[in-house]
Structure formats: structure tokens, C-alpha cells
Amino acid sequence: MTTHPPKGPTAPGTESLSQLGRQTVQPESPETAELERVPAPHKGRRYVVRFTAPEFTSLCPVTGQPDFAHIVIDYIPRDWIVESKSLKLYLTSFRNHGAFHEDCSVTIATRLVELLDPEWLRIGAYWYPRGGMPIDVFWQTGPAPDDVWIPAQDVPGYRGRG
Amino acid sequence: MTTHPPKGPTAPGTESLSQLGRQTVQPESPETAELERVPAPHKGRRYVVRFTAPEFTSLCPVTGQPDFAHIVIDYIPRDWIVESKSLKLYLTSFRNHGAFHEDCSVTIATRLVELLDPEWLRIGAYWYPRGGMPIDVFWQTGPAPDDVWIPAQDVPGYRGRG
Amino acid sequence: MTTHPPKGPTAPGTESLSQLGRQTVQPESPETAELERVPAPHKGRRYVVRFTAPEFTSLCPVTGQPDFAHIVIDYIPRDWIVESKSLKLYLTSFRNHGAFHEDCSVTIATRLVELLDPEWLRIGAYWYPRGGMPIDVFWQTGPAPDDVWIPAQDVPGYRGRG
Amino acid sequence: MTTHPPKGPTAPGTESLSQLGRQTVQPESPETAELERVPAPHKGRRYVVRFTAPEFTSLCPVTGQPDFAHIVIDYIPRDWIVESKSLKLYLTSFRNHGAFHEDCSVTIATRLVELLDPEWLRIGAYWYPRGGMPIDVFWQTGPAPDDVWIPAQDVPGYRGRG
Amino acid sequence: MTTHPPKGPTAPGTESLSQLGRQTVQPESPETAELERVPAPHKGRRYVVRFTAPEFTSLCPVTGQPDFAHIVIDYIPRDWIVESKSLKLYLTSFRNHGAFHEDCSVTIATRLVELLDPEWLRIGAYWYPRGGMPIDVFWQTGPAPDDVWIPAQDVPGYRGRG
Amino acid sequence: MTTHPPKGPTAPGTESLSQLGRQTVQPESPETAELERVPAPHKGRRYVVRFTAPEFTSLCPVTGQPDFAHIVIDYIPRDWIVESKSLKLYLTSFRNHGAFHEDCSVTIATRLVELLDPEWLRIGAYWYPRGGMPIDVFWQTGPAPDDVWIPAQDVPGYRGRG
Amino acid sequence: MTTHPPKGPTAPGTESLSQLGRQTVQPESPETAELERVPAPHKGRRYVVRFTAPEFTSLCPVTGQPDFAHIVIDYIPRDWIVESKSLKLYLTSFRNHGAFHEDCSVTIATRLVELLDPEWLRIGAYWYPRGGMPIDVFWQTGPAPDDVWIPAQDVPGYRGRG
Amino acid sequence: MTTHPPKGPTAPGTESLSQLGRQTVQPESPETAELERVPAPHKGRRYVVRFTAPEFTSLCPVTGQPDFAHIVIDYIPRDWIVESKSLKLYLTSFRNHGAFHEDCSVTIATRLVELLDPEWLRIGAYWYPRGGMPIDVFWQTGPAPDDVWIPAQDVPGYRGRG
Amino acid sequence: MTTHPPKGPTAPGTESLSQLGRQTVQPESPETAELERVPAPHKGRRYVVRFTAPEFTSLCPVTGQPDFAHIVIDYIPRDWIVESKSLKLYLTSFRNHGAFHEDCSVTIATRLVELLDPEWLRIGAYWYPRGGMPIDVFWQTGPAPDDVWIPAQDVPGYRGRG
Amino acid sequence: MTTHPPKGPTAPGTESLSQLGRQTVQPESPETAELERVPAPHKGRRYVVRFTAPEFTSLCPVTGQPDFAHIVIDYIPRDWIVESKSLKLYLTSFRNHGAFHEDCSVTIATRLVELLDPEWLRIGAYWYPRGGMPIDVFWQTGPAPDDVWIPAQDVPGYRGRG
Ligand SMILES: [Ca+2]
Ligand SMILES: [Ca+2]
Ligand SMILES: [Ca+2]
Ligand SMILES: [Ca+2]
Ligand SMILES: [Ca+2]
Ligand SMILES: [Ca+2]
Ligand SMILES: [Ca+2]
Ligand SMILES: [Ca+2]
Ligand SMILES: [Ca+2]
Ligand SMILES: [Ca+2]
Ligand SMILES: [Ca+2]
Ligand SMILES: [Ca+2]
Ligand SMILES: [Ca+2]
Ligand SMILES: [Ca+2]
Ligand SMILES: [Ca+2]
Ligand SMILES: [Ca+2]
């Protein structure tokens, strides 16, 4: 009854993937993490893809304490989309990496821009409070195109207690 | 006391419908599902129709695992509106269909565009997390017209736990 | 101590009202419901009036089953405002009236436009789910004026269960 | 350790105030309420001041029944800001005043405009339901300036029960 | 396994910092608080940094009573970013400082503008109710640039009880 | 691939049903509505079944105005469970029925008790506000058994506006 | 089609009512307000009736300033239920009445107990903040019976801002 | 730096598992799904394990239409805990299985009771609305022990629209 | 029209109050703050009074950093109730006081117990996060009486970001 | 003006602490983390202390993938309370530790029980979803005492998307 039955690791356009549908190991650093891409479906249609990563964690570069963030990435593909399992492994590779909030957030976006050469991309990084006061970082590659639909990220602000 | 009493299956403009108000069977695939349309009421008025489908499910094309999405479709009719029972049956026909998130989302929109030739249409597909990280896909046929009212979809972002 | 004491049914501009401050009966259909208007206060000031009707109900024209909607109407008066008790009675008169969602929603707006000749008007009709999938209808008389303040309606989307 | 210690009723620019920091009595009507103003700090900076009054109450001019509203006022000062205690007393002076929703809302804004001659002002009045159907009124003095930051009021819509 | 191991107080660009990663004392007033800055990473990328301070408190200049606010600051760095621990200490230095809401809010923004010379900056100060009626203050250095992404602050309005 | 394929109207224990899986008409009054029951599955297991009906509507017996309620029913079956389509038709049959809130709520429960002879049953009826003040009615057949799990209904209270 | 058609002011058990379904005037004080009762339907069934009054207002007995409260009343009738329109008029009669929070809350309950002689009654009074700090008052006639279902009132606590 | 490094598929007590940490296929029916168990850690400690499955789907046994549920399972292990990947595969095996809500919910609990012989177990099944009216099913093996901590499931009730 | 007109500072039972309805100064420490009491109204009725203080702030006794808490106090009066303005001044007197969370929370309760000799009292202190991890402290004088109604405090837990 | 001025690292009962108010390093494993305790204040008063840790992370013992949890700990001290900075460091030491959810949750509680010998303690561990399905673990040392106030943890359940 399955009309488009699962095709396994040899599905069209996925032959070269080294991680999807396979047992993988956690990369130890962002440098050694392998971000992979596949051809964007529906060429000529300008759509937005949003990834939400509520479990991002890295280290403070000065004190070594763990930092946590909720990260949301929006992009409009040109020729490529990112393969999501490799993106997940890339993001988890920051687990033992030390960097400032502003630096870390923009670095992730930069790596994706290099890989995908997207028409447009933005990142919102919503960091957990330190000293009672959270930092958020927002960056995009350029003005958002007027004619593509890009919903607000609408991550709720931090409210303290009570 | 009913002023416009129910008219039954022969109400004006609905004579040709094969599914509304009848016992139907679930179509086995998107290809065999029959999407139906009826003439748009209030010709000349440019209004938006929004469908919300919180129970969409399909299969991962590589692993065969079930995927779930919350889907919202907005469109401005030209001559036709989609008959809602046939749309529901069409969406449920993806139950055993394997396709990537990006592909699946844009395919649904494409099928509706072919059927309805609407003035404008967009789809927001909000997929459940896999590996802790959800994907959303947003597409529209072109820039949203400035003079038609199109409220934000405002589907809340994924927040993890706790 | 009351500085502008209640004036009773003869308050200025309300003499001709047949329903406000009186015992009334439910009209049996939209056609027999009497929508009433009073002169708009603060002539020359362009403000928005919003009505919210969370208790709208009508009948499906094909199956005769009850349908329910949450309706929000915004308008900018020119010379008249609608008298709210008559509007309420008008809306409750759809209780035994059969019409499609799209038709019903635009019909209400049309009747108000004829009565009030407003500078601008829009209606948002948020129907309860049928078959697990709700329909919303959005219509406005034309582009919203840039220089009048018209807040978003922000009715939350349907979310399913859990 | 207080660096700018409280100065008492003779703080600069507040000498002429008759109500702030003093025992006051409730004014009996809007006409007898004394709205007071003080020079706007940070002349030349165009900022927005928002007051939220969730406890507004007046009377229905026809039936004498109490009406309730949640009111939000935004304005950009030119030379003056309103003294907040006098504003509160002004708003509570509507307690025994009879007026229609639309009238009452615009009257408050008008009085503030006369007192302050602000660069821009708007009022949102969110009335409690009567007959199951609330009315909201929105008015502003003119188009909102593009280059001043004026966040949405985002008062949630009325939802009925359940 | 740490790829960018914590570098301690001598991490590049942080040598001159006197407070980060050190035991510090609470400054007694805004005047004696030392706001510090570090070079902005990713020069040439125009991003937004948001600080949220839900625990701001100062004193009423007339009555000496404590006031509380939830404060959100957004800015686009030019050459500098503010060091966050020094910002926290600066904000807590208002603890025994007396100033009006409007004054206090704009003063904080002004101090940051002098320190950072940012491309753009805004402050939203959401004060707790006094007399049942809260005041919010919104200010920005100039029009928000169209091509940089600046999400809404979306701090919920005050709702009273019930 | 369906392991327990749909059995159609002759599935075991459903042969006598006159409404499930068939085209039906809306009953015109509670008296003429036919509530149906089927044998309870898992005899000997004491479980709770909860129905939620957010679209209940009836008429005020004095003024004839429509009333609306959100209704939740919990029960522990003994030998029978109610067939849900017949329950829905029964509830919609109150559409043109006039009764007080307290009366109407307990009447529904009574009818179910007579039909099902359940071990235990309760009804919560959450009526929309009239005159700004909603009424809720809560009734149960007797003390809730300690050893059966009956979660709270947790329908949110009415909050007015703002 | 109405099965129990509205009966007008002579419906059984309501003949003696002086206010329901009639034009009424606001009583000027609690002492002059006329609370009315009707025979409880479904004698022998022990159910709970809940009234929610989100629009209660009275005066501070010392300063004369208006106070506001959200009030919820639960009771189990013995022979009588309160007529809801008269209850509403009674509650609005506190509009110009001066009393402390604790006193006012318990007074309302006491009056109802005298009128109805209920099996059990409780009142929750949730007052708006004064001086940044709200007071709630909770009272009941005695222990809540174990075998009658009395859901929690669950009015959300006050949270301040942000 | 990993102190308890991942042990791979030969970790103590997991040798016999056939699905965890391996590529698996979706079972085609509940009967062919293999539920697996591992020895409960911390023998002698009586703790509760809660599984939440927001993506459950099965078929209506009469009409073949897809049904959806949000399911929550709580249990106190005796000697065994369920292996979570096998539980997930078991639950997804209902995808093409036809059964009534009440039956389906209790069947899942029964299967787990047979596998685990737990001290206590309960299931809450929160089904999506059909015909505008959802059904929930609640079952437990017996009275909840007083001395083990079992938090409420607190799945929000269905609210309709608006 | 005021039936119980404000009585001013000589209202019965309030003659001895030194702070209510008067200009007051902030006490500099908890030791010098004067907590005042008045006779409890409705002697013989056992009711609960709840105070919510969302703006509590004190200092860390080791580092001198500001701490913040949301505090809720419930008590059943015997002969006295606390005068609320003096309670507010007492709580704000902790502004420059250094004490641990556990100590500070129980100290406040102890002072109230000494003043009021209540039948029963409890305090919930919900502290803002430090180091990403908040502490709450809960204490009561003894078991809560079964026959007095004491609603849950239901202050929401801390959730982090996103 | 500080009445209990910060005492620095030699405050009574804190002399032996090795981590509070000092620069510390992250412990590399739970075994090497040093949990510290201080004498419980207010001996003889039985109060509850709640810690909330929304940023807990460990590794899956089989696959090495990061797991995340929101953890809440409640306990009633006997002679000791845990020093909160050492608790935070202990919890962050699980960052590179591999253990099953059930095991990890109970291990943390066990370590605290050994350190503190509390009168009573419980842990709620709310894990992020894996495979779309989260696990929660709840454990307590024994029945909760009836006469100590222990509020519900009320961590919201997982809801999927939309
Ligand atoms: Ca707060
Ligand atoms: Ca939005
Ligand atoms: Ca969290
Ligand atoms: Ca959902
Ligand atoms: Ca769900
Ligand atoms: Ca909005
Ligand atoms: Ca509802
Ligand atoms: Ca917004
Ligand atoms: Ca309210
Ligand atoms: Ca509850
Ligand atoms: Ca309000
Ligand atoms: Ca806050
Ligand atoms: Ca609604
Ligand atoms: Ca609760
Ligand atoms: Ca999160
Ligand atoms: Ca959904």
C-alpha cells in the first residue's frame, strides 16, 4: 500500500551521504564535523527552511562553564539544502568548544553560508541567562527578500521567575 | 424556522461532487486521491481561505519511519475553491507515502495550485522534531498582495521540554 | 454624583432605536433581522471599532449539521456606527440558517458594508474543525489605510490535542 | 549610599504639582478631574510612553449598568509628559460617568492631546463583553511615525469559555 | 577533547577587562559603575545583540519607594560590544538611585550609546504597576535599519488580576 | 498491510447501531434524539471515558436568547459505553431547547445515567458569560471511587478582558 | 421547531421574580440591593454552582480609592438557588461602597448564606494589586464535602511584569 | 574526558536487545511488533517512569479513517523496564490497525502489563476530536500507591477555536 | 450615593495605625521596619488571606550581589490581620539586607507569626535563578487544617529559555 | 545602610566551603565532583528546598549522543542543606557521563541522600524527546510527610508541535 516506499540509503540524490541512515559517531569539534548537502528539491521555487535546535550547548571561553542556547535558522536554498542529520551532528560538536555568544552564533551561520551558498540565511541564537541576564544574537546575510514568506521566529523573551 | 434549509447533495454548484455528504474510502496514495473543486462564491471579492491540518503524517523516504506535521494552507481563490472533504482525504493519503519534508510540503502546494489556479497560495509545514530538531518549510506562489488581508500563521515554535 | 447620568431610551441620537434597552425577540433569519445604526461620534476622527463574537453558529447547507465560528469584525466608520445589540441579534439569527463557511463569512461583511458605508471593513471568521481540519476566512473591503491603527486580530490557530 | 536620594515634593520640575506625593481625593467626574503635566525629560529624544490601565470602569449611558475596559495609551511627548498620578485620578473619575464605548475611548485621548500637544498619541480600549460580544476601539492622532519605535499593544482577544 | 579550550583571563581582546572572570563588588551608583567594552567580533557583519534584564530596580525620586522594571536592550554594534558582566553591574548600580521612569530608561540607553557608538540601539523599559497602572518607555537612536533583522521584543502587557 | 481492517457497519457489537457510519439527520429535540449504547470492551477493567463538547448551545427559557457552554463528561462504564455519534447528535438536539443552566446540565447527566447505568458519572458544564458573569455547574452520581484514575477537568476560568 | 419554547416571565417557579427578564435599575448600595432566589431544580441531587465575577469593584474605606477584584463563588444548593441577574445587581451595588478587602469578601458570602441556606458555600476574592502587592481572601462555610465534586478555582496568581 | 564512555551494543544488561542501537524496520502490526525489556536499575527503589507519545495514530474500525491520539503512560517497575525504542516501534505499529478508542487504549496498557508485570501502571489516551468532540480514556491497574510519587498528567483539555 | 463612605484615618480599629493613609519613609532594615496589625474582621470565621509580593529583593550575604524573589504568604488569622501597607514596607526593608535564601524566607514567616499569632501560616519564596538554577523555599507553621480552604499557590516553575 | 552587610568568605558556617565565592573549575565526572553541605538554618523548622536545573545534559550510554533533561529536586533538610554552587557543579559534571535516563535520575538523588541524610527527598527528571517520545522519571525516598508543605512540581508535559 506504500506508494513511495522507503528507498533506503540509495534513494536518488542521497547516494553520497555518509551519515544519514547510518550509525554515526559524535564529532569532537566543529572543525572535524562534516556538514553535508543534497540538491534542493523543487528548483526554481523559492521556499524557506527553518531548523530549530533547542538543545545547543557550548563552553564559555573564559571560565569553561557550559553555556546553553535555543537556536533557530532560516534560509532560502539556491542549489543545495543541508542534510539535517549532519547539521544536528555539527551543532552537537560545539559541546566542548569554547566561544563567546556573539562569535559562536555568527560562526554557525557562516559555516552554513559557505556550504550552501543560499539566496538568504539568518540565525537567531537565544542564550540562557548568565548572571540573571540572557543575551540573544540575530544575524542575516542581507535584507530579507520581500516576496518570499519568512514568518517571525517568535521565541518568547526571558521572564525571570514567578 | 430554518431560513436556508439544508439542501442535500443537490445544492447549487455541488451536483458534481463525488465525496461530500457521501460515505467515502481513504485513498491509498496522493496519486489516486481525487481533489475536487467548486465555484468560488462572491466572485470579485478577494478573500483568503485558510486550512489547518494538525494531523498530517507521512513516511521518511530513507528509513520508513513515520513523520508528522502540522500544516497550514492559505490561498486567495480566483474561480474555484477546494472542496474541503476532498482536501482532507488528499492529505490523509500521504499516510503511507515516503518523501522528504521539503519535497512533501511543496508537492502539496503544487497540486493545489494546479487544481485551483488561485490568485495566490502559500503553505507552512511545521514538522515534528526528529533527533531533537524540527524542520519547518514555508513556500508561497509569489509576493503576497498588499491589499488583501493575510494574517500571520503564528504557529508556535518548538521549545524542547520543561 | 453621576456626572453624565444614564439617559434612558431617549438619549441623543438613540431615539429611533427599536431594540437597545428594550425587551427583544430573537429574529428567525438574517433576512428578518433588523440591523440598526447610530451617528458615529467624533466625526472627523478615523478610529477602528472591533466586535468579537465567540458564539456564532449556523448550519451546514448540505448535511444540516451545526457549524460554529469565532468571528471578529473591524471597521472604520464614516457617518455611522452599528448599534451593538442589533448586531448581536443579527449574528444570532444565523442559528438556523444554512450556508457554506466562505459564503456565510462574506455575507455578514456585505450586509454591514451596505448598512454603514464604512471607510473600511474586514471580517475574520475562524470556524471550528470539521473532519479534524478547520477553515478560516479573511476578507476586507480594500487595502487597509496606512494611517489608521488596526491591530492584528491574533486569534490563535487550531492546535489539535495534547 | 543612595546616589540620587529622593527629594520629596520639591524635586526640580515638580513644584507645581498638586497631587503627586500628597493625599488626594477621587475627583467626581472627568470634568472636575485635574490632569497635570511636567516638562518632558530628554528633550530632543523621541520616545514612546505607554500607560496600561486594566481597571477602567464607566456607566452605560442608556441602562446605567457598569461597563469595564482595559485601556492602553501610547504617546510621543513633545514638551510635556503627563503626571501619572493625575492620569490615574482622571481615569478613575469615569467611575460614575455615562458614555458609549466609542465616545468614551476617544474622549480620553482627546483630553490628553489637549493637555500635552504630543507629537503623536493613540488609545486602545478593550471593553468587557456585553451580550457575549466585546467591543474594542482603536484611535491615533495620525499615522505612526516610521522612525520611532512603537511596539504592538498585543492585548489578547476575547475567547469566550472552555 | 575541548577544541577551543577555555583561555582564562588572557583570552584575545579581553586582557584589559577589569571585571570579567574576577571577583567584583557591586558599584554604589551609576556614576561609579564602570561599563566596559570589547572589540566586536565578525566586523562587517551587522548583527543585533539583545540583553534582557528582568531584575532591574531603582527608587522613586519623590517618595523613595522602590521601583521595579523588566528591561530589554537591542543594538547593532559598530566597533564595540559591551562586556556583559560590566553591563550587569551597571544596571544593578541603580538599586539605590532615584529617578523618574522616563528619565531612568533613556539614561541607560544614553550611557550605552556613548560607550559603544553603535550603529543603532533601542531600549524597552517595562515598569511594574504603581497605583494599578504600569508605565512602559520605548526609545531608539533612530529609525531601525530595514536590512538588519530586529525581532519584536514581545514583552506581554500587564493584565491585572483574574 | 492493515492488520485489523475496517469492518464496516457489521463489526461485532455494532450491528444494532442505527446512526454510526450512516447518513443521519439532526434530531429536533432531546426527547426525539436517540442515544445508543454498545457493550463496554475490556469488561472487568474499570476505566474512565471523557467526552468534551466545546460547541454546546441551547436557549434561555425566559428570553429565548441562545446560550453556549463547554461541556465535559466523565464516566466509568459498567456494561455499556455510549456510542459517540449518537451522543453528539443528542447534545446538538438542545440547539432549540429552552432550559436553565442548572437544569440543562443535570438533565444531560441524568439521561446518560439512565442509558448506561454506569459505575460513576460526572458532568462539568462551563457556560459562557451572560451579564458579564458565567455560571458553571458540576454534578456527579456519588463520591468518586478512590481506586480509579479520574484526572481533573481543568477547564480554565473566565477572565474577562485585557 | 423549538421543543421547550421560551416561556416568558411566567415560566414555572419564576413568577415572583422582580428583576429577571425586566428592565432594572442599578441598586445604590448592598443594603438596598434585592437578592432573589428560586427553587433549586433536581432536588436531591447535590451539585455545585459556580459564579465568576471578573468585574467587581468597591472603594477603599480609608482613602476612597477604587478597588477591583475578580470573584468566584461556589455553592451546593439545598432548597434554593440564587437568581443570577439579582446576584449580578447585588455585586455591582458595591461600586460606591467602602470596605476592607477581607471584610468585603466575607460579607458577600454571608449574605448569600443567609438567603440560600446552602449545604456548603465558599468564596475566593482575588484583589488587584495595591502598592504592587495583591491580597486574596478565601473562605468557606465548613469543610468541603468529600462526595460532591468541587473543582479547584485555579485563578492564576499575580506575576508582576515582563 | 568521558567518564562513563558509551559502551555500544554490548553494555551490561542490553546484550539481548535486538533493536536498540541498530537499524530497524517498522513492524506492520501490534501482533508482530516485538516489545523488549531490560532489568530495572536501582532495584528496591520504587520510582515512576513516564512515556509521552504525542504522535500515536491508528484507524477507525468502522470507517477506516485515521485516528490520532496523544498518549501518556506511567508505571512503577518491579523487575523490568521497557526498552524505549521497542516501545516506540510497538506504538507506531498501530498505524494501520483498526480499533475503537476505548479498546485500543486499554490494549496497549494490557500488553505492557503482560511484558513488565509492573507494581502499578496507568495509561491516559487523549484522542483528537471527531465530529467536534474528543474522547479521552483513562485506565490504571489498581489504586495508585500512596507512598510513591505520581505527578498528574495535566494534558490540557480540548478547547475548540478562538 | 456612597453607602459606606470612606472614613479617613479614624475609621474604627485603625486609629492606632501610624503608616496607612499617611506619607511614609522606607525603613532601612527589617529590624527598624514597623509591622502593624489590626483586629481581624468576622471573628469566628476561619478564612485565608494571601499576599503576593512579586518585587522582593535582598542581598547575597557572601558576595553582596542583589537577589530577587517572588514571595507568596498565606495565613489564617486568629485575632489579628496584618496591615498591608506596613507589610509592604517591611518587605521592601530587605532591599539592602544580606541573608541566605533559606534563612531570609523563614525569617519573614517567623516575624509574621510573632506579630499575628495566626492559626496557621505558610510562605513560598520563589527565588530568581543564580548560575542558571533557582531555589524555592516552602515553610508552614504546621499541617494545613483540613476544613479551611487553602488553594495551591501554583507559581510556575522556572523554564530556562526558548 | 546595609543592615546585614555581606560578610565575605568567612560568613558563619561557610568557612569550610571550597567552592562558594571562589573561582572554580568544572569537575570532569560525577565521581570527582565535590558536593558540599552547610548546617541547615532554622533547626527544628521543617521546610522544603527546591532546586530547578533546566540545563542538565549527559550522554546516552549506548550511542554516545547527548541527552538533555529538566530536573527538579525537592527535599526537607534534617541537619544539612546542600551548598548550591557545589550542586550546580555536580550536575554539570554529568556532561560527558554516559548513563540511562532511569539510572542517571536515581543516581543523583542517591548521592544527595548520602550527603544530606534529609528527612525526605524526591527528584523529577523530565528528559527531552528521543524518537519523538520523552521519558520522565519520578522518585522519592518515601511517602511525603502530610504535615509539611510540598507544592506540585507542575512541569508541563511534552506536546509535540503546533
Ligand atoms: Ca515576577
Ligand atoms: Ca507573531
Ligand atoms: Ca527548559
Ligand atoms: Ca498538538
Ligand atoms: Ca500533541
Ligand atoms: Ca501580534
Ligand atoms: Ca471553547
Ligand atoms: Ca507581536
Ligand atoms: Ca480579569
Ligand atoms: Ca489543576
Ligand atoms: Ca484585565
Ligand atoms: Ca519578570
Ligand atoms: Ca471560543
Ligand atoms: Ca497545579
Ligand atoms: Ca527550550
Ligand atoms: Ca499539532
Domain boundaries defined on chain J: 24-140
Cell 415572583 sits on residue: G16
CB pairs under 8 A between B and G: 3
Res C83 pLDDT > 60: yes
Q: Which residue in chain F has the smallest CA separation from C94?
A: F66
Ligand 13 midpoint to CA C19 (Å): 26
Name the least confident of D118-127, E150-159, G6-15: G6-15
Q: Nearest to residue A54, comparing CAs of J136, H78, J73, B132? A: B132
What are H96-145's pLDDT values in tens digits? 999 989 999 999 999 999 999 999 999 999 999 988 889 999 999 999 99
Residue B19 is predicted with a pLDDT of 78
Pick the CATH number of B38-140 from 3.40.640.10, 3.30.1130.10, 3.40.1170.60, 3.40.140.10: 3.30.1130.10
Q: Do chains H and A touch (3 or more CB pairs under 8 A)?
A: yes
Looking at CA atoms only, how far is residue A162 from chain G in angstroms? Answer: 6
Average pLDDT of the residues in I88-94? 95
Cα separation, F3 vs H64, whole angstroms: 12
Rounded CA-CA distance B13/B39 in Å is 7
Q: What is the pLDDT of residues J43-101, one digit of tens each?
A: 889 999 999 999 999 998 888 889 999 999 999 999 999 999 999 999 999 999 999 89
The C-alpha cell at I102 is: 533559606
Question: Is residue E102 annotated as involved in ligand binding?
Answer: yes
Active site includes A67? yes
Contact C142 B147 (CB under 8 A): yes
Residues of J acting as catalytic residues: 60, 67
Q: Which chains touch E (3 or more CB pairs under 8 A)?
A: A, D, F, G, H, I, J
Is a pLDDT exceeding 60 seen at residue E79?
yes
CATH code reported for the domain at J24-140 = 3.30.1130.10
Q: Is B7 helix (H, G, I), strand (E, B) or coil?
A: coil
Radius of gyration of chain J (CA): 17
Distance J4 CA to ligand 11 centre (A): 40
**Which among E134, E137, E51 has a CA at the least distance from the CA of E91?**
E51
Output the CA F42–ligand 12 centroid distance in Å.
Answer: 50
| CB of D94 closer than 8 Å to CB of D104 | yes
pLDDT of residue J22: 66
CA distance E151 to F9: 55
User: Three cell numbers at C160?
Assistant: 489539535
* CATH number of E44-146, picked from 3.30.1130.10, 1.10.3720.10, 3.40.50.11720, 3.40.50.300: 3.30.1130.10
Task: Confirm if F9 and F17 have CB atoms less than 8 A apart.
Answer: yes
Q: Is pLDDT above 70 for J157?
A: yes
Q: What is the pLDDT of residue F96?
A: 92
Put simply, the answer to whether A100 touches E41 (Cβ < 8 Å) is yes
Neighbouring C-beta atoms of residue F25, cutoff 10 Å:
11
Report the CATH fold assignment for C45-140.
Answer: GTP Cyclohydrolase I, domain 2 (3.30.1130)
Arithmetic mean of pLDDT over chain I: 88
Please determine, for residue J10, whether its predicted confidence score (pLDDT) is greater than 60.
Answer: no
A100-137 b/e (C-beta count within 10 Å ≥ 16 → b): bbbbbbbbbbbbbeebbebbbbbbbbbbbbbbbbbbbb
* pLDDT over threshold 60, residue G107: yes
Q: What's the confidence (pLDDT) of residue J21?
A: 67
Between these two residues, C145 and J62, which has the higher pLDDT value? C145
The three-state secondary structure class of I117 is coil
Judged against a pLDDT cut of 90, whether residue F11 lies above it is answered with no
* pLDDT value of position H162: 79
What is the CATH number that goes with domain A42-140?
A: 3.30.1130.10
Average per-residue pLDDT in chain A? Answer: 88
List of chain B residues with pLDDT < 50: 1-5, 8-9
CATH architecture of the region G39-140? 2-Layer Sandwich (3.30)
The ligand that comes nearest to the alpha carbon of residue B56 is 16
Looking at C91-100, G123-132, H127-136, I14-23, which range is the least confident one?
I14-23
Buried b / exposed e over J137-161, threshold 16 CB at 10 Å, is bbbbbeebeeebbbbebebbbbbbb
Of G64, G58, G130, G136, which is closest to residue G94 (Cα–Cα)? G58
pLDDT, position J16: 73
| Residues of chain B found within 8 Å of residue G1, distances taken between Cβ atoms | 1-2
The CB density around residue G22, as the number of other CB atoms within 10 Å, is 10
Question: Taking CB atoms and an 8 Å cutoff, what residues of chain F touch E161?
Answer: none
Residue G26 pLDDT level (bands cut at 50, 70, 90): confident
Chains in contact with G, where contact means 3 or more Cβ–Cβ distances below 8 Å, are A, B, C, D, E, F, I
Task: State the number of CA atoms in the 13 A half-sphere of I18 facing the CB.
Answer: 6
Q: How many CA atoms lie within 13 A of C108 on its CB side?
A: 34
Residue for grid cell 443552566? F101
What was the pLDDT predicted at J108?
Answer: 97
Give the residue-averaged pLDDT of F38-42: 91
Residue A131 in this model has a pLDDT that exceeds 90: no
Quick one: DSSP state of residue D10? G
Q: For strands A66-76 and A80-82, give the pairing.
A: unpaired
Q: How many CB pairs under 8 A join A and F?
A: 3
Give the list of residues 6+ apart from residue A97 with CB closer than 8 angstroms, or none.
Answer: A29, A30, A58, A59, A104, E2, E3, E4
**For residue A56, how far is its CA from the centre of ligand 16 (angstroms)?**
24
Cell numbers linked to F130: 451572560
Nearest residue in chain A measured CA to CA from G159: A162
Q: CA C7, C13, C17, C19 torsion: positive or negative?
A: negative
Report the pLDDT value the prediction gives residue H9, as an integer from 0 to 100.
45
Give the separation between CA G146 and CA A41, rounded to whole angstroms: 63
Q: Quick one: pLDDT at residue A13?
A: 66
Least confidently predicted of B103-107, E59-63, F3-7, I128-132: F3-7
Q: Which of B25, B66, B95 sits opposite H55 (nearest CB)?
A: B66
Question: What residue type is assigned to position J58 of the chain?
Answer: S
Helix (H) or strand (E) segment spanning residue F81:
strand F80-82
Tell me the longest C-alpha to C-alpha distance in chain E: 57
Residues A142 and J160: their CA atoms lie apart, in Å, by 32
pLDDT tens-digit readout, I46-87: 999 999 999 999 998 888 889 999 999 999 999 999 999 999
How close, in Å, is residue F87 to chain D by CA atoms? 19
The conformation of residue A111, written as its DSSP 8-state character, comes to: H
Map residue C113 onto helix, strand or coil: helix
Q: In this structure, which topology does domain D48-144 adopt according to CATH? A: GTP Cyclohydrolase I, domain 2 (3.30.1130)
Reading chain D (162 residues) residue by residue, the pLDDT tens digits are 334 445 544 455 676 777 766 667 788 899 999 999 999 999 889 999 999 999 999 998 888 889 999 999 999 999 999 999 999 999 999 999 999 899 999 999 999 999 999 999 999 999 999 888 899 999 999 999 989 999 999 998 988 887
Pick from I22, I51, I57 the residue to mutate for testing the E interface (most E CBs within 10 Å). I57
Contacts of H112 in chain J (CB under 8 A): none
Sign of the dihedral through C-alpha E76, E80, E86, E92:
negative
Region C15-21: what's the mean pLDDT? 74
- Assign domain I30-140 to its CATH architecture: 2-Layer Sandwich (3.30)
**Coil, helix or strand at residue I7:** coil
- pLDDT band per the 50, 70, 90 thresholds, residue A49: very high
- Residue J87, SS3? helix
User: Can you name the residues that pair with D81 across neighbouring β-strands?
Assistant: D38
| ipTM greater than 0.90 | no
Query: What is residue H60's three-state secondary structure?
Result: coil
More confident residue, F160 or A116: A116
Is F14 in contact with F20 (CB distance < 8 Å)?
yes
The mean of the pLDDT values for chain J is 88
Least confident of A46-50, G102-106, J19-23: J19-23
* Chain F environment of E159 (Cβ under 8 Å): 162
What are the C-alpha distances in Å from F16 to residues C5, E64, F9, F38, F116?
66, 79, 9, 9, 16
Among chain G residues, the shortest Cα distance to D58 is held by G95
Q: Which fold has domain H37-140?
A: GTP Cyclohydrolase I, domain 2 (3.30.1130)
CB atoms within 5 A of ion ligand 3 belong to B 162; I 159-160; J 54, 70
Other Cβ atoms within 10 Å of F51 Cβ, number? 20
pLDDT at I16 (0 to 100) = 74
Instruction: Give the tens place of pLDDT for each residue, H56-107.
Output: 999 988 888 899 999 999 999 999 999 999 999 999 999 999 998 999 999 9
% of chain J exceeding 70 in pLDDT: 88
Mean pLDDT of all residues in E73-77: 96
Smallest CA–CA distance, residue H111 to chain A, in Å, is: 27
